[in-house]
Amino acid sequence: MDSQLHGSCLCGGVRYKAALPVFHSSHCYCTMCQKQHGAAAGSYANMARAGFVVQQGAELITEYASSAEGRRGFCRVCGSTLFWRSTASPDRIAITLGTLEPEYAGPVERELYIDTKPAWLPHGG
């Protein structure tokens, strides 16, 4: 089994890999994630920053400081959200599940900020 996750942005300019394991994964419904992703949530795999390697297009990645400690990395060509990190936890990085190839196979254990989870999400069933 591959010991890395692989991912890329929509335009293909940025390609990265990240060394397993995934410590945990999450759907974050905070309003900042909703704005940045233009979606109900930001979905992330929390991993070791030391194992995150940008293989192509590092110059295309822009980081936005969304809070005092939060940094949100995206491709400046296509806008794909690539990762979230906190300067308070410099050893970790949260990689967006939607940019992984192939599709993320692991469970998503956590839902964060469910108090701002949008009512327009399907409720299943």
**Residue whose token pair is 């990395």:** 73
Q: Which two tokens stand for residue 84?
A: 């979230």
Which one among 19, 65, 78, 121 touches Zn ion, defined by CB under 5 A? Answer: 78
Rounded to the nearest whole angstrom, what is the least distance from the CB of residue 125 to Zn ion in the complex?
A: 26
Which one among 5, 18, 22, 30 touches Zn ion, defined by CB under 5 A? Answer: 30
Is 45 a residue that touches Zn ion (CB under 5 A)?
Answer: no
Residue 3 neighbours by CB distance under 10 Å = 9
Which one among 5, 18, 28, 61 touches Zn ion, defined by CB under 5 A? Answer: 28
Rounded to the nearest whole angstrom, what is the least distance from the CB of residue 81 to Zn ion in the complex?
A: 10
- Cβ-based nearer residue to Zn ion, 11 or 20: 11
Would you say 30 and 113 are in contact if contact means Cβ atoms under 8 Å apart?
Answer: yes
Residue 54 neighbours by CB distance under 10 Å = 16
Please give the angle made by the CA atoms of 29, 31 and 33, to the nearest 5 degrees.
Answer: 65
**Cα–Cα nearest to 109, from 1, 28, 7:** 28
How many residues sit in the footprint of Zn ion (CB under 5 A)? 10
Which one among 33, 61, 93, 95 touches Zn ion, defined by CB under 5 A? Answer: 33
Is 75 a residue that touches Zn ion (CB under 5 A)?
Answer: yes
